[in-house]
Amino acid sequence: MRISYAWLRDYLKLDLPADELAEKIERTAVEVDGVIRPSEGLKKVVVGHVLECVPHPNSDHLHICQVDVGEADPIQIVCGAPNVAAGQMVIVALPNSWIGGHTKIKRSKMRGEVSNGMLCALDELGFDEKLVPKEVADGIFILPADATPGEPVFSYLGMDDEIIDMSVTPNRGDMLSMNGTAHELAAIYDQTPTMPKVDLTEDAADLADDDLNITVQADEQAVPQYKMRLIKHVTIKPSPLWLQIRIWNAGMRPINNVVDATNYILMQYGQPLHAFDFDQLDAGQVNVRFAKAGEQLTTLDGEERDLLATDLVICSNDKPICLAGTMGGLATEVTDQTTSIALESAIFDAVKIRKTAHNHNLHSEASMRYERGIDHGATEKALDAAAAMIAKLGNGTVTSGVVVGRDEDVKPVEVAITLTRINHVLGTDLSLDTVSDLFKRLDFPTTVTDDTFNVTVPSRRWDIHIPADLIEEVARLYGYDNLPSTLPTGQPTIGKLNETQQAIRDARKLMESAGLTQAISYSLTTDSKARAFALHASDVTTLDFPMSSERTTLRLSLIAGLLDDLAYNNARKEQDVALYEQGRVFFSQPEQVRPKEVEHLAGAITGSMVKTAWDTAATPVDFYQIKGIVAGYLKSLALVDPISYVATTAHAEMHPGRTADIYVGDQLVGFVGQIHPTTAKAYKIRETYAFELDLAALIALPKARQQYQPISKFPSITRDVAMLIDDTVTNADIVALIHDKGGAHLQDVHLFDLYNGKHVPEGKKSLAYTLTYQDQAATLVDEDVTKAFDKVLSALTEDLGAEIR
């Protein structure tokens, strides 16, 4: 809502700078987007009197004008506007002036003739084209004949005004009007506003009822009020300049005296009005109902619209002529030929209008106000004011009486609140008098009994109906700046992360110290990416009405998003990337409306984690690097059940020979491996290794109780074994066997060498382990260790076919 400061002064005595006023509005009522000064940046633009206007000898459309700009001699200006003529008062941009769009006007020559400036149209002064009246859109603007040559032009066009652009919140629909804003500012500045008076003269001999007949078929909730007046003998013409100024400064385009009058009253009262060409109505018959499927209406913008059963329509003899509260119909539009006006002032249900505006994508000044509510007490006042204005501007007569299709009994709302309650909620110590004064400033009639205020809220503040609403009025008028600043007291509470939250933070820290940087990717992705890398088979959760095909489905894994991130980096020549993500995946649940949201942890690495440096060669990442990161994290969890890595070919997007499922005991908790080269190619990434862990499952698994292990006082003995063994035998097989046969004192088995290069027969590999033996209670005897070790050696040979070297 754009509020003209000049217009505000009709209501209130205000002389503070507009910026201060704006700041006050912002701190007390609604947000202000800014103060608009239409003349800002314009310079040396003055009134000119065209003394002489002759055709340019070298042009078929230019004119050479001698223009009095208040100086001793007239100046010559060449003008191309078709409507320029001698005798006119015009807008002159003098040499070295600044006009709209930061344009500087200089003295120039046009086809051999000197031009000392320019005659201007409104859009050249920076007017939005949508606000320029259509009749002056194609030429220069003609100022009133009494304008004084040489004076700055701004005051003649309302451009010296300051316009406060308010962003009105949905609850403060009352401030979508000059009257409402004036009431608000009157409360803020403790003034009594001068409200507009309606000076309506009716033609007692001509009864509106005789010509106009209204039936409202729609229910009372949909249409609580519907009233009309009939104005006859109206001459349609452009509005006087003062009215046009108010209309364009409010951000609307002046159309003609009737439409402008309805828009003016709309701005003033916040009551949408609609003017019908009475003669286009069928025998003066008007009915209001819901549209029927299949009905059509051509609206003012020329669009033929298919009406919906939820649309309220105004009909004439049951034929739709207007989309209620949203937009009028073309057939009953006020035109230059119109002489009689059927003027509507009504209230329509907010929800119905909202639906219609939404369904037809028609958002108008009227629909916006209906959606936010209307003062039920001002419908008739606005109707009278508009009728009087139309009659005055169009030299018409208002017929006698209001034709009422529907009316309601509007009662003010009574709200009671105690002073104790106000101070209790605000944390203040306001006195009875202070609060009484605030209600008085709001012009809310109030009686006080003991501690209780009985407040009568006028219909113009329909947003207020419960005590909390009154507390807000008190708080904002008293001033939020004046509230004390404290912290909640009362029973102390313990703040701490729960186990899961702490475990998630720990996981993040560990990933970071392992060299992975946290990524946050999109949860929504394509259908195929959402399904990729899923740890468990699941259906996906899909948006009903996505914005783009890239974001349709909730992810089942984090890896897919990380691969997108890697691709983004790779495409920007960042080849070494190590990322992890901690977030939710969404497994759909049969018979459940919502998916199961599971916390996951995933990582993806590509390139090298350590770059080539003066002392280090870059080592490309590989399976064992990512497995080391996963193993380090799992170790930190101190899980009770053993962790195992089982080779798997089950994940279509993973390398079938380089991927392991990760189990804790019997439970699958994730997988780790290389991204399948084909998948990598599809994602446009290089060789990449990744893991996905079900973090929620890991957090829930039993953890080992931390217990101190005494450190043996007795020395340990080690034995190394090197063997040649079949490629198909895994490290896990060997380690398991060694542990199985190792005896009571075997403490550790450590793989220290793996070789399958030269001198190793085809199909074989060479492995070497260190076995550590230690006794907690005594010094080990060499022979005992040898005995135990020999058992291991023979088991390796016999059970696994190892050739001990």
Binding-site residue ranges for Mg(2+): 463, 469, 472-473
CA 764 to chain centre: 64
Least distance to another protein from the beta carbon of 228, Å?
A: 27
Task: Decide: is 560 part of the binding site for another protein (CB under 8 A).
Answer: no
- Residue 427 in contact with residue 172, Cβ under 8 Å? no
Identity (one letter) of the amino acid at 220?
Answer: E
Beta strands in 324-384 (DSSP E): 327-328, 341-347
Taking CA 230 as the corner, what is the angle to CA 228 and CA 231, rounded to the nearest 5 degrees? Answer: 135
Task: Decide: is 541 part of the binding site for another protein (CB under 8 A).
Answer: yes
Which range, of 74-82, 561-569, 747-755, 772-780, touches another protein by CB under 8 A?
561-569
Give the count of beta carbons closer than 10 Å to the beta carbon of residue 306. Answer: 13
Alpha helices in 607-684 (DSSP H): 623-636, 677-683
Residue with tokens 């590989």: 622
Task: Decide: is 98 part of the binding site for another protein (CB under 8 A).
Answer: no
Q: Which helix (H) or strand (E) holds 291?
A: none
What are the residues whose beta carbons fall under 8 Å from the beta carbon of 696, sequence distance 6 or more? 500, 598, 599, 600
Binding test (CB under 8 A) with another protein, winner from 76, 428, 434, 526: 428
Least distance to another protein from the beta carbon of 354, Å?
A: 6
Binding test (CB under 8 A) with another protein, winner from 322, 578, 598, 660: 578
Binding test (CB under 8 A) with another protein, winner from 248, 580, 645, 683: 580
Going by C-alpha positions, the residue among 749, 751, 734 that lies closest to residue 801 is 734
Task: Decide: is 572 part of the binding site for another protein (CB under 8 A).
Answer: yes
- Cα–Cα distance for residue pair 266/601, rounded to 1 Å: 58
Q: Could you say which residues in the range 153-182 bind another protein, by CB under 8 A?
A: 169-172
Rounded alpha-carbon distances, angstroms, from residue 692 to 534, 566, 651 = 9, 16, 12
Pull the structure tokens for residue 385.
């004011």
Q: Which residue number, 343 or 514, has a Cβ lying nearer to another protein?
A: 514
Could you list the residues known to form a binding site, using ranges: 463, 469, 472-473
Task: Decide: is 311 part of the binding site for another protein (CB under 8 A).
Answer: no
Could you say which DSSP state residue 299 is in?
A: B
Task: Decide: is 777 part of the binding site for another protein (CB under 8 A).
Answer: no
Task: Decide: is 591 part of the binding site for another protein (CB under 8 A).
Answer: no
Residue with tokens 């400064």: 249
Q: Which residue number, 120 or 516, has a Cβ lying nearer to another protein?
A: 516
Which range, of 88-96, 142-150, 295-303, 540-548, touches another protein by CB under 8 A?
540-548
What are the residues whose beta carbons fall under 8 Å from the beta carbon of 14, sequence distance 6 or more? 5, 8, 21, 185, 189
* Interaction mask 117-156, another protein, x per CB under 8 A: ----------------------------------------
- Cα–Cα distance for residue pair 272/225, rounded to 1 Å: 12
Q: Could you say which residues in the range 476-495 bind another protein, by CB under 8 A?
A: 476, 480-481, 483-495
Q: Could you say which residues in the range 372-411 bind another protein, by CB under 8 A?
A: 372
What are the residues whose beta carbons fall under 8 Å from the beta carbon of 676, sequence distance 6 or more? 652, 653, 654, 655, 656
Alpha helices in 514-581 (DSSP H): 527-531, 559-571
* Interaction mask 339-378, another protein, x per CB under 8 A: -----------xx--xx---------------xx------
Q: Which residue number, 582 or 674, has a Cβ lying nearer to another protein?
A: 582
What are the residues whose beta carbons fall under 8 Å from the beta carbon of 156, sequence distance 6 or more? 47, 143, 144, 147, 241
Q: Which residue number, 109 or 572, has a Cβ lying nearer to another protein?
A: 572
Binding test (CB under 8 A) with another protein, winner from 204, 293, 537, 593: 593
Q: Which residue number, 18 or 664, has a Cβ lying nearer to another protein?
A: 18
Give the count of beta carbons closer than 10 Å to the beta carbon of residue 284. Answer: 21
- Cα–Cα distance for residue pair 270/794, rounded to 1 Å: 98
Pull the structure tokens for residue 589.
């649940």
Q: Which residue number, 66 or 364, has a Cβ lying nearer to another protein?
A: 364
Q: Could you say which residues in the range 432-471 bind another protein, by CB under 8 A?
A: 466-469, 471
Q: Which residue number, 409 or 615, has a Cβ lying nearer to another protein?
A: 615
Q: Which residue number, 405 or 603, has a Cβ lying nearer to another protein?
A: 603
Binding test (CB under 8 A) with another protein, winner from 378, 579, 598, 802: 579
Q: Could you say which residues in the range 31-70 bind another protein, by CB under 8 A?
A: 31, 34
Rounded alpha-carbon distances, angstroms, from residue 334 to 39, 420, 443, 666 = 33, 57, 39, 81
Least distance to another protein from the beta carbon of 468, Å?
A: 4
Q: Could you say which residues in the range 500-539 bind another protein, by CB under 8 A?
A: 500-501, 505, 508-509, 511-524
Alpha helices in 52-143 (DSSP H): none
Least distance to another protein from the beta carbon of 309, Å?
A: 16
Q: Which residue number, 335 or 616, has a Cβ lying nearer to another protein?
A: 616
Least distance to another protein from the beta carbon of 514, Å?
A: 7
Least distance to another protein from the beta carbon of 565, Å?
A: 4
- Cα–Cα distance for residue pair 265/181, rounded to 1 Å: 14
Q: What is the greatest pairwise CA distance in the chain?
A: 133
Task: Decide: is 590 part of the binding site for another protein (CB under 8 A).
Answer: no
Q: Work out the burial of residue 748: count CB atoms within 10 Å of its CB; fewer than 13 is exposed, 13-18 middle, 19 or more buried.
A: middle
Rg of the chain over CA atoms, in angstroms?
42
Task: Decide: is 595 part of the binding site for another protein (CB under 8 A).
Answer: yes
Q: Which residue number, 66 or 171, has a Cβ lying nearer to another protein?
A: 171
Which range, of 85-93, 572-580, 630-638, 783-791, touches another protein by CB under 8 A?
572-580
Taking CA 348 as the corner, what is the angle to CA 342 and CA 353, rounded to the nearest 5 degrees? Answer: 110
Going by C-alpha positions, the residue among 127, 57, 50, 36 that lies closest to residue 91 is 50
- Residue 690 in contact with residue 625, Cβ under 8 Å? no
Binding test (CB under 8 A) with another protein, winner from 268, 569, 688, 766: 569
Which range, of 30-38, 94-102, 148-156, 225-233, touches another protein by CB under 8 A?
30-38
Residue with tokens 């009915």: 287
Which range, of 7-15, 228-236, 382-390, 604-612, touches another protein by CB under 8 A?
604-612
Task: Decide: is 600 part of the binding site for another protein (CB under 8 A).
Answer: no
Q: Which residue number, 431 or 616, has a Cβ lying nearer to another protein?
A: 616
- Say how many residues touch another protein, by CB under 8 A: 100
Which range, of 400-408, 473-481, 672-680, 760-768, touches another protein by CB under 8 A?
473-481
Task: Decide: is 545 part of the binding site for another protein (CB under 8 A).
Answer: yes
Q: Classify each residue of 436-456 as buried b or exposed e, where b means 16 or more C-beta atoms within 10 Å of its C-beta.
A: eebbebbebebeeeeeebebe
Least distance to another protein from the beta carbon of 187, Å?
A: 13
Task: Decide: is 619 part of the binding site for another protein (CB under 8 A).
Answer: no
Rounded alpha-carbon distances, angstroms, from residue 553 to 357, 416, 441, 526, 589 = 30, 51, 54, 6, 15
Q: Which residue number, 310 or 436, has a Cβ lying nearer to another protein?
A: 310
Task: Decide: is 559 part of the binding site for another protein (CB under 8 A).
Answer: no
Q: Could you say which residues in the range 645-664 bind another protein, by CB under 8 A?
A: none
Binding test (CB under 8 A) with another protein, winner from 2, 14, 28, 793: 28
Least distance to another protein from the beta carbon of 577, Å?
A: 6
Task: Decide: is 739 part of the binding site for another protein (CB under 8 A).
Answer: no
- Residue 519 in contact with residue 581, Cβ under 8 Å? yes
- Residue 230 in contact with residue 248, Cβ under 8 Å? no
Taking CA 263 as the corner, what is the angle to CA 259 and CA 267, rounded to the nearest 5 degrees? Answer: 170
